[in-house]
Amino acid sequence: MKSGYKIYWTAEALSNLRNVLKYLDENWSEKEIKNFVRKLDNRLNLIALNPKLFSKTKAKKNVRKSVLTRHTVIYYSFENEMVNILTLFDPRQNPSKLKL
């Protein structure tokens, strides 16, 4: 059985993740932070095992999106056994801020 694709984070995605975690740390409890991290880890495992699982975006056909929470969407692409996490985006923002 195939072990899955390797996950790589872009600088943009890492920056977004840091901002989300900082917000959670400042406004929520340790329990919510652990729940978010667990949910993110589970979703990344799903993506690594089957990157075609989630739908393609309309803007770019080689980019897919996975709704993690109602406030966080993961955008990613994949090829050659690698998944690139492009960004974590809050859909409440203006869509023109989404950089793919």
From CA 85, how far away is CA 45, in angstroms rounded? 12
Strand, helix or coil for residue 69: strand
Q: For residue 22, which amino acid is it?
A: K
Average pLDDT, the chain: 92
DSSP β-bridge partners for residue 75: 65, 87
DSSP string, 26-61: HHS-HHHHHHHHHHHHHHHHHHHH-GGGSPBPSS-T
Tens-digit pLDDT profile for residues 7-17: 999 999 999 99
Residue 57 CB coordination number (10 Å): 16
Residue 98's pLDDT is 79
Tens-digit pLDDT profile for residues 51-63: 999 999 988 889 9
Map out the domains of the chain with their CATH numbers.
Answer: 8-92 (3.30.2310.20)
Residue 1's pLDDT is 37
